[in-house]
């Protein structure tokens, strides 16, 4: 039995802010991410390899806030965070404030497989990527015109005291998977939020907060206001409710996302999977880029409330 779920962030634009063609292009990249992860699982690959493959596709897409096209900080730099976790061993790797590693999720996995340090930050993380043969690029590689314009808008909103929309605040990508051996894994990658302070690190690279996986319970990847995900230790909290209270995944995820986080008035969403391949994608915003492949191989993608059934793999 295999299954896969992804998200592309709950900071989704209002339906009217993008053309039908732009929404279709974003959904196409969600589908490609699902196909990439599913190919790994279908050929007997690990859940870890599957979530990495899915996240890499979204890091390469300009439609999501991770890797190429990520949000820019106050200095106009893409400072990238990522992590990955293996539910079988509880092995984990995380990186923050990366500015040269082309695919931060690959760097997180390389760090995990080094079986030593769990987390590296800034230039040291980029140096690790280069030393271990991963592709590095100039920091300007990640910067797109869309994100330059978003930074200008956000600075204007800050000056005028105008609240930002969920789409302007944040975004993240992530994946969870169950492989044929019954192992779970999760991975998450982000640029944080537009105009974030230099040096700010959110929940994405914090194991147990934005990313968590434990065989026998669940794998979780989150998106939203990272400071609250850290305070509530969201991924671990969902797993703990399942382990200690006997709640199923849907109940535990709903409690954390729709009650614990929602009462703070912050946007939040997750994709999560349990050991039987059951997937949940709760979110409390207008929409969330998301997709999943069921244990029967049926591909679903969505941005707002309408779910598209795409194909059977």
Strand order in the sheet with 211-214: 211-214, 218-224, 268-274, 279-280
Q: Give, in degrees to the nearest 5, the angle at Cα 106 between 105 and 109.
A: 90
- The helix or strand, by DSSP H or E, that contains position 89, with its residue range, turns out to be none
Q: Which two tokens stand for residue 215?
A: 């065989």
Determine which one of 172, 194, 204, 211 is catalytic: 172
Nearest to 253 by CA among 294, 283, 231, 297: 283
Return the bridge partners of 6, or none. Answer: 175, 291
Return the bridge partners of 280, or none. Answer: 272
Pairing label, strands 289-293, 3-9: antiparallel
What is the rounded CA–CA span in Å between residue 288 and residue 239?
Answer: 22
Task: Give start and end residues of each alpha helix (H) in the chain.
Answer: 20-42, 47-59, 104-113, 122-131, 145-160, 166-169, 226-232, 234-245, 249-254
Q: CB count, 10 Å around CB of 150?
A: 20
Is 172 catalytic? The answer is yes
Pairing label, strands 92-98, 307-312: unpaired
Catalytic residue positions, numbered: 172
């Amino acid at each position: 039995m295999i299954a896969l779920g992804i998200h592309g962030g709950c900071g989704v634009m209002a339906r009217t802010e993008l053309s039908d063609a732009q929404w279709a292009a974003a959904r196409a990249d969600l589908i490609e991410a699902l196909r990439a992860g599913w190919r790994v699982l279908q050929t007997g690959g690990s859940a870890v390899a599957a979530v990495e493959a899915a996240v890499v596709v979204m890091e390469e897409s300009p439609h999501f806030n991770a890797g190429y096209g990520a949000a820019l900080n106050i200095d106009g730099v893409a400072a990238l965070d990522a992590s990955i976790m293996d539910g079988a061993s509880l092995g984990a790797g995380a990186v923050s404030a990366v500015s040269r590693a082309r695919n931060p999720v690959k760097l997180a996995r390389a760090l995990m497989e080094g079986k030593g340090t769990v987390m590296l930050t800034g230039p040291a993380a980029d140096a690790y990527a280069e030393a271990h043969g991963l592709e590095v690029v100039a920091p300007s590689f990640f910067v797109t015109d869309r994100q330059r314009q978003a930074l200008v808008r956000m600075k204007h909103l800050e000056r005028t005291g105008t609240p930002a929309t969920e789409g302007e605040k944040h975004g993240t990508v992530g994946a969870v998977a169950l492989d044929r051996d019954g192992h779970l894994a999760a991975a998450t990658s982000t640029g944080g939020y537009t105009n974030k302070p230099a040096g700010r690190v959110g929940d994405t690279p914090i194991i147990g907060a934005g990313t968590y996986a434990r065989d026998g319970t669940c794998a979780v990847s989150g998106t939203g206001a990272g400071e609250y995900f850290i305070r509530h230790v969201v991924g671990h909290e969902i797993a703990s409710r399942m382990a200690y209270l006997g709640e199923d995944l849907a109940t535990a995820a709903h409690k954390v996302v729709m009650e614990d986080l929602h009462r703070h008035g912050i946007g939040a969403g997750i994709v999560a999977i349990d050991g039987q391949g059951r997937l949940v994608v709760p979110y409390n915003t207008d929409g969330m880029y998301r997709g999943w492949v069921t244990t029967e191989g049926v591909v679903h993608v969505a941005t707002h409330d309408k779910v598209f059934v795409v194909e059977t793999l």
